[in-house]
Amino acid sequence: MAKIGFIGLGNMGGPMAKNLAKAGHALKVFDLAPAAVAALVEAGATKAASASDAAKDVEFVVTMLPAGEHVRSVYLGEGGLLSVAAKGTVFIDSSTIDVPSARETIAAAEKAGMMMIDAPVSGGVGGAEAGTLTFMAGGTVDAFEKAKPLLEIMGKNIFHAGAAGNGQVAKVCNNMILGISMIGVSEAFVLGEKLGLDAQTLFDISSTASGQCWSMTSYCPVPGPVPASPANRNYKPGFSAAMMLKDLRLAQDASKTARTPTPLGAQAAQLYALMEAAGEENLDFSGVIKLIRGEI
């Protein structure tokens, strides 16, 4: 049984922390939202008085926070996690954040005599609840190996993507593919529809031909062909357009830093930003088909 601090008990962090508690680990938890803490206490965790309190007298700390600014403010500076935790503590940041914040925080942790990996996830709330998330981790082999047994409780596919920050790089690159491919599939289905080709027929052909991709066969943006896709429940997420927009903006920031053009990534970000401007950012990201159809 390990002693674990867990900070950030939202839609993702809540169920991830519950799975660690269920596996018999001793959890000390903190969130700014008292209701989120209460739910974990009910699941057997101990309430910490603050984020830094959650990092005292523990072997591991997991953080699942909204963005880079939250991670920096929780870890760095006076009273931050790195100023109070014991040397040798292993930090796992599973938030999706910008690459420079991840690399800077991990460097600061190592300087303070601690270990840290960035380990963003894919798989959504369903994956967090079921303990089947995919983890993409960056950091030293040593830190990764120490963190792995905990990642294996919260997830199913665990990848070491290389040096510090590479987990975030893998995450933004993957989600840029996803955001772009969903728009491509949506455009094709709307064009087919307009030309008199029904969606099921296009699906039957394309899903076994060269247009096949995950956005079509696992998450089809039209109702019918893939019963589990959000299109069958009025685009209730799933993975919201707001979340997709966040990740595409991170990809755009990374593309500027790396001076590497990603023109389709930029265009995709603009289309999801139009969904946001129309007040539809809480639809699933596959609802981008409604924008293409002119329904938003």
**Residue ranges binding ligand NAD (CB under 6 A):** 7-13, 30-33, 36, 51, 64-66, 70, 74, 95-96, 121-122, 124-125, 239, 243, 246
Q: Exposed e or buried b for every residue in 265-293, given b needs 16+ CB within 10 A? A: beebbebbebbeeeebbebbbbbbbbbbe
The H or E element spanning position 154 is helix 141-154
Buried b (16+ CB within 10 A) or exposed e, 53-87: ebbbebbbbbbbbeebebbbebbbeeebbbeebee
Residue among 65, 69, 124, 73 at smallest CA distance from 93? 65
Degrees, nearest 5: CA angle 241-222-211: 95
User: Measured from the CB of residue 196, what is the shortest distance to ligand NAD in angstroms?
Assistant: 37
CB 115 to ligand NAD: min, Å = 21
Q: Closer to ligand NAD by CB, 176 or 190: give it.
A: 176
Give whichever of 8 and 138 is closer to ligand NAD, judged by the CB atom. Answer: 8
For residue 149, give every residue at least 6 positions away whose Cβ sits within 8 Å of its Cβ, in sequence order, or none: none
CB atoms within 10 A of CB 39: 18
What is the length of the chain? 296
Q: Which is nearer to ligand NAD, 20 or 202 (CB)?
A: 20
Catalytic site includes residue 3: no
CB of 293 to ligand NAD, least distance (A): 25
Q: How far is the CB of 295 from ligand NAD (least distance, A)?
A: 24
| Cα angle value 19/21/24 (rounded, 5°) | 110
Least Å distance, CB 204 to ligand NAD, is 30
Strands 60-63 and 90-93 come out as: parallel
Least distance CB 90 / ligand NAD (angstroms): 19
Which backbone phi and psi does 71 adopt, to 5 degrees?
-65, -45
> Strand 121-122's sheet: what is its strand order?
121-122, 133-137, 155-160
Residue (24 or 126) nearer to ligand NAD, CB: 126
Judged by beta carbon, residue 13 or residue 221, the one nearer ligand NAD is 13
For ligand NAD, give the closer residue by CB, 11 or 200.
11
Q: Which two tokens stand for residue 255?
A: 């593309």
> Of these residues, 18, 28, 171, 246, which one is catalytic?
171
Q: DSSP alpha helices (H): ranges in 43-96?
A: 51-54, 68-75, 81-84
Q: Which residues are catalytic?
A: 171
